[in-house]
């Protein structure tokens, strides 16, 4: 089994730096994919209310024979449930679907500047309740820009443990990542492979050839060496195993720089200031 490093969050909780993402995995295929990942050594799963597959995640973990404490589970609040009472009901439903009495990490999925009168502060205060109750061991945000994080900093009690943002070689997010580092917020890189879009890049392919690894492996290794938390998605068993096999080699500083230099500020997903 690969030995996956932990990152210590700003509240002292440990999170495995590498995990399994389940966005776009159909509900009826999720338990099988998560079981394959757990068998391969993954101990961290990233789901969301909007993915509608939390039940499959819970089912695979329950069947795995692992103790609950051995797997780090993240979910995220649905965009329709930001009003505090809705958020409470949605969070109860998350725990029920997972079949768990806590999640390791719960996130606001999107800041949604055009909805709820731009108010994500009362939503965050509701997540603070879940944290104080011990039903979310850590709380954080996703797709927050520095100006959103500054508002939380000024108006609420708890600093987010993580900010989950889109990051890959075509979108290196240097500004948001530097802001997060300065404020002890760990960065989680979503779509770490650019949904597969960066893998045919000639620079990625030449780094892979030099390292004797696949394009996906060197891109995932690049994230890990930059210090971000990653959870690539795949439903293909061979790829699930390939993606975790990145803890037996290191990229040179020059390779890391070459991959970072591919940045072209190109998103695969929505712009958080507009969505
Ligand atoms: P990803 O970058 O992980 O790419 C997944 C795709 O890459 C797969 O569908 C497959 O086509 C390809 N792929 C995977 N492994 C491969 C391999 N070894 N070789 C070749 N191709 C391979 O994209 P993602 O699923 O969008 O992101 C990963 C996770 O991030 C999600 O599952 C989810 O948990 C999270 N996420 C969060 C947000 C958010 O708003 N917070 C948004 C998107 C994704």
**Measured in angstroms, how far is the CA atom of residue 117 from the centroid of ligand 1?**
31
Whole-angstrom distance, CA of residue 187 vs CA of residue 2 = 22
Q: Are 214 and 242 in contact (CB under 8 A)?
A: yes
Ligand 1 pocket member 164 (CB < 6 A): yes
Find out whether 99 and 59 touch, Cβ atoms under 8 Å.
Answer: yes
Say if ligand 1 is within 6 A of residue 54 CB: no
Nearest to 264 by CA among 201, 180, 222: 201
Cβ atoms within 10 Å, residue 182: 9
Per-residue confidence in pLDDT tens, the chain, 275 aa: 789 999 999 999 999 999 999 999 999 999 999 999 999 999 999 999 999 999 999 999 999 999 999 999 999 999 999 999 999 999 999 999 999 999 999 999 999 999 998 899 999 999 999 999 999 999 999 999 999 999 999 999 999 999 999 999 999 999 999 999 999 999 999 999 999 999 999 999 999 999 999 999 999 999 999 999 999 999 999 999 999 999 999 999 999 999 999 999 999 999 999 99
3-state SS, residue 166: strand
Q: Ligand 1: which residue has its CA nearest to atom 13? A: 196
Identify the CA nearest to 192 among candidates 159, 214, 153, 218.
218
Residue in 51, 102, 116, 170 annotated catalytic: 51
User: Is residue 23 within 6 Å of ligand 1 at its C-beta?
Assistant: yes
Distance 56 CA to ligand 1 centre (A): 18
The predicted pLDDT at position 185 comes to 98
What residue owns the CA closest to ligand 1's atom 8? 234
Sheet with 136-142, strands from edge to edge, namely: 20-21, 44-46, 72-77, 103-108, 136-142, 162-166, 186-190, 229-230
Which residue CA neighbors atom 32 of ligand 1 most closely? 21
Cα–chain center distance at 150: 21
In the chain, % helix, strand, coil (3-state, to 5) comes to: 45, 15, 40
Of 160, 93, 89, 165, nearest in space to 128 by CA? 160
Q: Is 199 in the pocket of ligand 1 (CB under 6 A)?
A: yes
Nearest CA to ligand 1 atom 29: 21
Tell me, what's the pLDDT at 2?
Answer: 80
Mutate to test the pocket of ligand 1, among 18, 20, 21 (most ligand atoms within 8 A of CB): 21
Q: Among this protein's residues, is 51 annotated catalytic? A: yes
pLDDT at 141: 98
């Amino acid at each position: 089994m690969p030995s996956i490093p932990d990152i210590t969050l700003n509240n002292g909780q440990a999170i495995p730096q590498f995990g399994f993402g389940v966005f776009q995995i159909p509900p009826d295929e999720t338990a099988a994919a998560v079981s394959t990942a757990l068998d391969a050594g993954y101990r961290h799963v990233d789901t969301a209310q909007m993915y509608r597959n939390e039940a499959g995640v819970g089912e695979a973990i329950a069947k795995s024979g692992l103790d609950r404490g051995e797997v780090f589970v993240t979910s995220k609040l649905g965009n329709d449930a930001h009003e505090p009472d809705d958020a409470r009901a949605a969070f109860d439903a998350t725990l029920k679907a997972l079949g768990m009495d806590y999640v390791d990490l719960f996130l606001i999925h999107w800041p949604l500047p055009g909805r709820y009168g731009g108010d994500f502060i009362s939503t965050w205060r509701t997540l603070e309740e879940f944290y104080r109750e011990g039903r979310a061991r850590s709380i954080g945000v996703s797709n927050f820009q520095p100006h959103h994080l500054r508002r939380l900093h000024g108006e609420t009690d708890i600093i987010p443990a993580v900010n989950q943002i889109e990051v890959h070689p075509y979108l290196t997010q240097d500004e948001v990542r530097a802001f997060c580092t300065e404020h002890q917020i760990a960065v989680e890189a979503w779509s770490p492979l650019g949904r597969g879009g960066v893998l045919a890049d000639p620079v990625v392919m030449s780094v892979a050839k030099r390292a004797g690894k696949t394009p996906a492996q060197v891109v995932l290794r690049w994230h890990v060496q930059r210090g971000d938390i990653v959870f690539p998605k795949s439903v293909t068993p061979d790829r699930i195993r390939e993606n975790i096999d990145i803890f037996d080699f290191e990229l040179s500083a020059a390779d890391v720089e070459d991959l970072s230099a591919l940045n072209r500020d190109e998103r695969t997903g929505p712009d958080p200031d507009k969505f």
